Structure 1
Amino acid sequence: MIPDVSSSKNLFDSKIIFFVNKLVYYLKTIIMLEVNSIYLYRNRKQVFKDFSLNLKNSEIILLEGENGVGKTSLLNIIAGLIIPNKGFVKICKKSIFELGKQRKKKFTYIPDKNCLKENLSINENLKSWLKLSNLSVNNNDYQKALKIFSLNGIQESLVKSLSQGQKKKVALTKLLFSKSKLWLLDEPLNGIDAKTTTTLKKVMVRHLKQNGSILFSSHVKSNLKLTKRILLKKIKKKIKF
């Protein structure tokens, strides 16, 4: 009797699909970022009181709120640039301060403030960042990245000669080289034109499809499919010390 090979193959294929689906589900339940009960005081004012959030793989969270409510402060806390008065931040289940040199591999932070060196060219700025981030990119991929944000042709220009929108595009190009799963973006949609906005959204969506996570702040309306919106509000109570 000839064995039913097609039946065995279908069973094998079904098992593969089952395990792939289980793996995809597991990856999406991994907590990439944990902000636990953060308190922050600035100039005798409370900025955060018992603030918490979790961000999983393939999730994107938008921080909303008027100027001065703490959107940038929160991103700086997560990046380890500000130490909160109370509470902790974990990335991939490790304290931000335990990561040490691994920080650059675990997350990429693009602040709203221009951190480029004005007297260096676009190329010099990007290649300096790549070196500091311990990233290597072949010339073909490097040129492709420049083209995505329309920086090809002006890559030898000094940053100080660029418009604010062009400077923002130089900073955003770093995302195309990033190998980290977590992106922290402060006002990434601010100061860029419609074409660049569309390009950035495509880059963000691709990152999410690759099991990446994004926490970003913005006051610009976006049609991105969000996991969650968090509205930050000012705490008016003054603190007595």
Structure 2
Amino acid sequence: MSLGNTALRDEKITVETKNLQCFRDERCLFAPISEEVRVGGSLEVKGRNGSGKTTLLRALIGLHRQTRGSFSISTSFLYQGHKLGLDESMTPVENLVWFQALNGRRANQSSAFRNIDFLGLSEKADTPCQFLSAGQKKKVSIARWLDSDKKLWLLDEPFTSLDSESSNVLVSIFDKHLVNGGSIVYSNHIDAVYTPSSEVRLEPVELEDIVEC
């Protein structure tokens, strides 16, 4: 287990796994992992396509039940999967206001415009999302995170579809969230964009692990 930044060792643990494995159709996807993420810390889950990164994130929030080992989450969380959860008939601003309402917050169009502008989408603020590019849709989903009060972010491939400039903006969003007492667990299969507190690579199951499964 890698804790990364030693300054985090006295902080509260928000996510912990102990010998966790995930299965699909009785097939073990990866060797056991034991990791912990603390307040102010981030964990990058690496691995090739099909290695189980998405399945692991879904298992952590209870959407995938075929597991062995143990895991726990001790704080409120936001989960963003591959599906962005946008209503494509609505504009970016309308989607953000809708997201605010879904989270029990008062609709704040000014905040929605501000977040859209921060992601460089002010010219598309009133354009239905169905007419946006994949990268622009991704930025709309990221803008929603800025309105969330959840301390833990669980993100599936957050840097996918982003150009280098947008990736740098996302890095700054990550840094601010961690400084404000948040935690992040995210999957990634592209070249290094962000330097996390720690990382884990999902490895194929070896023979001895197959016996254990």
TM normalised by structure 2 equals: 0.85
Q: Deviations over 1:143-185 (max 9, x none)?
A: 2111111122322222211110111011111111111111111
Q: Which residue is 1:169 aligned to?
A: 139
Cα distance in 2 for residues equivalent to 1:149 and 1:38 = 36
SS at match of 1:82: coil
Amino acid at match of 1:77: A
Q: Which residue is 2:65 aligned to?
A: 83
Q: Which residue is 1:155 aligned to?
A: 125
Cα distance in 1 for residues equivalent to 2:155 and 2:48 = 17
Does the CA contact (< 8 Å) of 2:31 and 2:203 recur in 1?
Answer: no
1:36 aligns with 2:25: no
Cα distance in 1 for residues equivalent to 2:100 and 2:66 = 29
Cα distance in 1 for residues equivalent to 2:34 and 2:8 = 23
Q: Which residue is 2:35 aligned to?
A: 53
Q: Which residue is 1:5 aligned to?
A: none
TM normalised by structure 1 equals: 0.76
Does the CA contact (< 8 Å) of 1:122 and 1:156 recur in 2?
Answer: yes
How does 1:72-151 map onto structure 2 within 5 Å? 72-92=54-74, 106-136=76-106, 138-151=108-121
Q: Deviations over 1:205-229 (max 9, x none)?
A: 1111112111111122235332111
Aligned sequence identity (%): 27
Cα distance in 2 for residues equivalent to 1:43 and 1:222 = 32
| Structure 1 or 2: more helix by fraction | 1
Cα distance in 2 for residues equivalent to 1:28 and 1:204 = 21
Q: What RMSD in Å do the two structures reach over aligned CA positions?
A: 2.5
Question: Which of structure 1's runs of 4+ aligned residues deviate more than 4 A?
Answer: 25-28, 236-239
Question: How many residues are treated as equivalent by the alignment?
Answer: 204
